[in-house]
Chains A and B, each alone.
Chain A
Amino acid sequence: MSNAKINIEEQKLFQYLEGNLSSEEAHQFEQEMADSALLNDAVEGLQQLKDNSKINNYIDDLNKQLKQYTASKKKRRVNYKSQFNFWAIISIVLILALSIITYLVLSKIHS
């Protein structure tokens, strides 16, 4: 099912809830409801709302949250990467410094 199709379905759903579909369209929509448990339950749930204008706000909030969930993982991955780079550089510098110090100390002892 494509997003475009979903949007059309959503539009139809809102029109159905508001009673703005012709009887033929309403019947067609109800046939879709009879074939889909998800659509049937969704309509029954949304019919409980007294104020349909709130639905869009809820959906916008949920979609924003969803974007954060899916984007944050990416960011977190980037952060892990930069954190890893930082500690890798520190370790390399420390190992190098220790090697130089050891070399200098040993060469002093020998001389």
Chain B
Amino acid sequence: MNQKQLEHITDAELLELYYQKNDNELLGVLLQRYTLLLFGTCLKYLKNETEARDAVQQVFLKSLTEIPKYKITYFKSWIYMVAKNHCLMQLRNKNITLEFGSQIVVEEDTNKKDELFLKEAQLNILEVAINDLNDGQKECIQMFYLQKKSYQEVCEHTGFTLLQVKSFIQNGKRNLKILMEKKSIKNHE
């Protein structure tokens, strides 16, 4: 398979091909898809361009040794965890701990469940469930998903910081999912 053809196949197909052929160049093609995202992620945690660059190199090397050992299903989630763990380890070695609240935990979506959930959700239940969220989460979720405002616009309207807005959206999304699941179970009963 030539370079052009490789460009149009999915991560999962590329990984499968690698497991069949055991050709490291295929892993190179796959990893190269994530260079920018990995660099940005490492930069977020390490806050230093040179250290971030070194960290990405380490993540590449680690991936090249680890991938052959396991059957990886969701590459995007896997590579994110490798990069994040590497950065956290670096920080731990330097005795730096991340301040609580300085990062938002975004749940990695492997099968776009949330996207479908928010796009195709039963709107009636959603409307009721949104009212059960706390004020901050309710306000941010409504503005971001229903009124389609950008993060910046939500910040301007609510007076919250960007970090708070992202956090309210993430937590609100998670709580909404739980609330909606509970409500749809009740409806079925």
Q: Which residues of A contact B (CB under 8 A)?
A: 1-4, 6, 10, 13, 23-24, 26-27, 30-31, 33-46, 48-49, 54-55, 58-59, 61-63, 65-67, 69-71, 73-74
Contacts and interface: CB of A to CB of B under 8 A. Distances in A.
Interface string B46-61: 0101001100110011
Main secondary structure of the interface of B (DSSP, over half): helix
Given A4-B8, A6-B33, A69-B60, 4 more contacts: A6-B34, A45-B44, A45-B45, A46-B39
B42 A54 contact: no
A26 B11 contact: no
Contacts of A41: 40-41, 44-45, 80, 84, 106
B112 A35 contact: yes
Interface string B142-156: 001100111101000
Contacts of B145: 31
A30 B150 CA distance: 7
B6 A45 contact: no
Interface of B: 6-11, 24-25, 27-29, 31-45, 47, 49, 52-53, 56-57, 60-61, 64, 76-77, 79-80, 84, 104-109, 112, 114-115, 144-145, 148-151, 153, 166, 169-170, 173
Contacts of A62: 35, 39, 53, 56-57, 60
